[in-house]
Amino acid sequence: MQIETARLLIRPYTASDFAALQPILSDPITMQFWPAPLSDEQIHGWIERAMTMFAQHGFSRMPLIERASGAIIGDCGLMLAQVNNQTEHDLGYIIQHQYWRQGYASEAAQAWLDYSIDTLGVTRIVANMPHDHHGSRRVAERLGMHKQTEFHNQRNRDILTYLYVYAQQ
C-alpha cells in the first residue's frame, strides 16, 4: 500500500525508518505543539505502534517521503485514537519545520482524507490541535473540516484543543 501525490510518497513504516524520523520527532521546533520532543525510545514506540496499527487495520501514521530528494520530511496518517473521550479515526500530520509553509501538510492530509473515504470507507475523520497551532487549523479547514468543539487535552498538558471534523452524510 502506498499513496502518491505530486511531491510525496506515503508508505507504511519499517523499522529502518528510525534514523530518518529521529531528527524530526526529536526537534524542539517541529514538536513545539506537542508536550515535548520525543525521545529515541518514544520514536521507536511511535514506529512500532504505526506498524502494528497498519497490520491490524490497513492504515496508520506513515512517513512522508519527498519524491524529489527521497528524504523523509514528516509523518501523516490515520490512527484509531481516543480523542476527547471517544474512539475516532484521527488524522494527524507532522512536517519537519524546514518544510513548513510549503503546502506539504495540506497535500499529505488531503491524500489521506481521500484514501480514507474512497478506499477505507471511513465516513467520520477528526483532527485535533492546540488552539494556538494556526498552521494545523488552516490545514484542517482546507480539507473542508469544521471545528466541532473545544476541550482541554489531558494527553497534551491539559491545553485548550480544537477538534475539527469531516463527516460524510
What is the Cα–Cα distance from 40 to 71, expressed in whole angstroms? Answer: 19
Long-range contacts of the stretch 148-154 (C-beta < 8 A, 24+)? 149/84, 151/84, 153/84, 153/128
Closest CA to 128 of 33, 27, 10, 63: 33
Identity (one letter) of the amino acid at 130?
A: P
- The whole-number pLDDT of residue 158 equals 85
> So where are the chain's domains?
3-167
- The whole-number pLDDT of residue 118 equals 96
For the chain, 169 residues long, give each residue's pLDDT as a single digit of tens.
999 999 999 999 999 999 999 999 999 999 999 999 999 999 999 999 999 999 999 999 999 999 999 999 999 999 999 888 899 999 999 999 999 999 999 999 999 999 999 999 999 999 999 999 999 999 999 999 999 999 998 877 888 999 999 998 6
What CA dihedral angle connects 37, 87, 10 and 28, to 10 degrees?
-10
Which triple of cell numbers denotes residue 47?
A: 514506529
| CB contact at 8 A, 90 and 80 | yes
- The whole-number pLDDT of residue 23 equals 97
Contacts of 19 (CB under 8 A, 6+ apart): none
- The whole-number pLDDT of residue 109 equals 97
- The whole-number pLDDT of residue 153 equals 83
| DSSP-assigned letter for residue 38 | P
Q: Provide the whole-model pTM.
A: 0.93
| CB contact at 8 A, 47 and 18 | yes
Q: Which residue has the cell 519524491?
A: 67
Which triple of cell numbers denotes residue 15?
A: 523499522
**Under the phi-then-psi rule, with left for phi > 0, alpha for psi from -120 to 50, and beta for the rest, what region is 101?**
left
3-167 CATH pick, 3.40.50.10490, 3.40.640.10, 1.10.10.10, 3.40.630.30:
3.40.630.30
Which triple of cell numbers denotes residue 38?
A: 520525543
